[in-house]
């Protein structure tokens, strides 16, 4: 098949996405497909025929390394003459030309349903959730509301404009410690854990810098786990153990800073309950094909707390979905092949 892999974009998770997209593209090349890797924001600035951008074989592979810090989006925009349109030149053409589009995107525009809606309007087959599931899962306030409404546990929270959130309000309605984050970012971008008042202002400013509503939720003590879903089945549970601090951007993507235990060492009854709960949450949020549910496991209460959902989980060498798939017997290349062959028109 001819496959266009979309990566990059105008998102704080741009670098993570380009890493994921490069690895996906290489895996698909190794499976004998013709592959073009296209940056959603950069697009293609020349008039060469679409066919010329598709690579074959495994001699000329893609590569990208993730810096320690998030990208400066304003600097990237300036380097493109100030263009703020988030779909670059010829991107739609490259998607239409391919048999399938593998979405290696993360963050805003990649996961909030907008790209999915555009591709769907053009009749393009793409991987991952449809636009509705993406929109629901990406909005942390909406997803928590649906999960709570369905009877599952999630930390108490408030969502508002940053200027309307005061420390006194947080202390009264949520309590300390708390987690402060933008409602629509991933990869722990904009996330802080606040334990005392002197940390609050900086955390609020950091979350607000993403130009979104801010969500503040109670910090739930327990074991951090994640459960990947693939084609209607829950994969092995992974426990995430950062060596220092919490599972932030640096700990996620730099070597040797976090330990993943997969399968997680959880008593069998709770393990099966966790998988079942994650799959139910996945369906509640109208997600489909594949994704990931992040939870806190309270082993004393034998219960699980919903943190957030990921509708286009990372596909880097540090990412949790490929690791869980490998533990279940699906190697990276086979995972990419399985995803691309099972995608269909989304709705």
pLDDT per position as a tens digit, 243-298: 765 544 444 444 567 789 999 999 999 999 999 999 999 999 999 999 999 999 99
- Domain membership of residue 322 (yes or no) is yes
Q: Are residues 149 and 160 in the same domain?
A: no
Tell me the CA distances in angstroms from 301 to 153, 154, 296, 306, 316, one per residue in order. Answer: 12, 14, 11, 15, 34
CA distance between the termini of the chain: 23
State the average pLDDT over residues 223-235.
Answer: 97
CATH classification of the domain holding 25: 3.40.50.20
What is the model's pLDDT at position 185? 77
What is the model's pLDDT at position 187? 58
Query: Which residues on adjacent β-strands are paired with residue 181?
Result: 215
CA 147/CA 143 separation, integer angstroms:
6
Q: How far is CA 100 from the centre of its chain?
A: 20
Residue 150 CB neighbour total at 10 angstroms: 14
What is the model's pLDDT at position 344? 63
Tally of structural domains, the chain: 3
Q: Are residues 96 and 77 in the same domain?
A: yes
What is the model's pLDDT at position 248? 46
- Domain membership of residue 109 (yes or no) is yes
Q: Are residues 317 and 279 in the same domain?
A: yes
Q: 59-63, 99-103, 122-126, 144-148: lowest mean pLDDT where? A: 59-63
Q: Are residues 246 and 187 in the same domain?
A: no
- Domain membership of residue 310 (yes or no) is yes
Q: Are residues 189 and 272 in the same domain?
A: no
pLDDT, mean over the chain: 92
Here the tokens at position 293 are 């549910």
Q: Are residues 196 and 106 in the same domain?
A: no
- Domain membership of residue 132 (yes or no) is no
Closest CA to 227 of 339, 306, 148: 306
Q: Are residues 119 and 178 in the same domain?
A: no
Q: What is the pLDDT of residues 182-225, one digit of tens each?
A: 998 765 788 999 999 999 999 999 999 988 999 999 999 999 99
Is residue 89 within 8 Å of residue 81, measured between CB atoms?
no
Higher model confidence: residue 346 or residue 295?
Answer: 295
Q: Are residues 234 and 122 in the same domain?
A: no
The DSSP symbol for 55 reads: B
Q: Are residues 118 and 35 in the same domain?
A: yes
What is the model's pLDDT at position 186? 66
Q: How far is CA 151 from the centre of its chain?
A: 24
- Domain membership of residue 340 (yes or no) is no
What is the model's pLDDT at position 146? 98
Tell me the CA distances in angstroms from 13 to 72, 109, 204, 260, one per residue in order. Answer: 11, 11, 20, 21
- Domain membership of residue 289 (yes or no) is yes
What is the model's pLDDT at position 244? 63
CATH classification of the domain holding 190: 3.30.1490.20
Q: Are residues 145 and 294 in the same domain?
A: yes
Domain that holds residue 62: 2-126
What is the model's pLDDT at position 249? 46
**Residue whose token pair is 């010829």:** 90
**Residue whose token pair is 């549970």:** 237
CATH classification of the domain holding 259: 3.30.470.20
CA 38/CA 106 separation, integer angstroms:
14
Q: Are residues 171 and 278 in the same domain?
A: no
Q: Are residues 145 and 288 in the same domain?
A: yes
What is the model's pLDDT at position 58? 85
Here the tokens at position 314 are 């990372």
Banded model confidence at residue 345, pLDDT cuts 50, 70, 90: very low
What is the model's pLDDT at position 256? 63
């Amino acid at each position: 098949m001819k496959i266009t892999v979309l990566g990059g974009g105008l998102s704080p998770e741009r670098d993570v996405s380009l890493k994921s997209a490069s690895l996906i593209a290489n895996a698909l090349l190794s499976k004998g497909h013709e592959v073009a890797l296209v940056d959603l924001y950069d697009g293609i600035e020349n008039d060469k025929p679409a066919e010329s951008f598709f690579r074959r074989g495994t001699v000329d592979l893609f590569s990208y390394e993730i810096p320690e810090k998030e990208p400066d989006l304003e600097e990237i925009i300036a380097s493109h003459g100030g263009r703020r349109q988030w779909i670059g030149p010829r991107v739609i053409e490259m998607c239409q030309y391919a048999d399938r589009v593998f979405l290696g995107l993360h963050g805003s525009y990649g996961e909030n349903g907008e790209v999915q809606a555009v591709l769907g309007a053009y009749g393009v087959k793409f991987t991952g959730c449809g636009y509705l599931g993406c929109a629901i899962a990406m909005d942390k306030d909406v997803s928590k509301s649906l999960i709570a409404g369905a009877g599952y546990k999630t930390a108490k929270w408030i969502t508002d404009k940053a200027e309307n959130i005061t420390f006194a309000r947080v202390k009264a309605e949520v309590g300390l410690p708390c987690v402060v984050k933008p409602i629509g970012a991933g990869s722990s971008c904009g996330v802080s854990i606040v334990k005392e008042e002197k940390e609050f202002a900086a955390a609020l400013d950091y979350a607000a810098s993403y130009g979104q509503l801010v969500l503040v939720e109670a910090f739930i003590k327990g074991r951090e786990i994640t459960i990947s879903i693939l084609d209607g089945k829950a994969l092995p549970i992974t426990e995430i153990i950062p060596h220092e601090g919490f599972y932030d951007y640096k700990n996620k993507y730099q070597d040797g800073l976090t330990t993943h235990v997969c399968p997680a060492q959880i008593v069998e009854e709770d393990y099966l309950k966790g998988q079942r709960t994650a799959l139910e949450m996945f369906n509640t949020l109208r997600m489909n094909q594949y994704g990931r549910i992040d939870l806190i496991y309270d082993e004393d209460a034998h219960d699980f707390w919903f943190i957030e959902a990921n509708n286009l989980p990372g596909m880097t060498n540090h990412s949790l979905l490929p690791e869980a798939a490998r533990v279940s017997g699906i190697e990276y290349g086979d995972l990419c092949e399985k995803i691309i062959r099972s995608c269909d028109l989304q709705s």
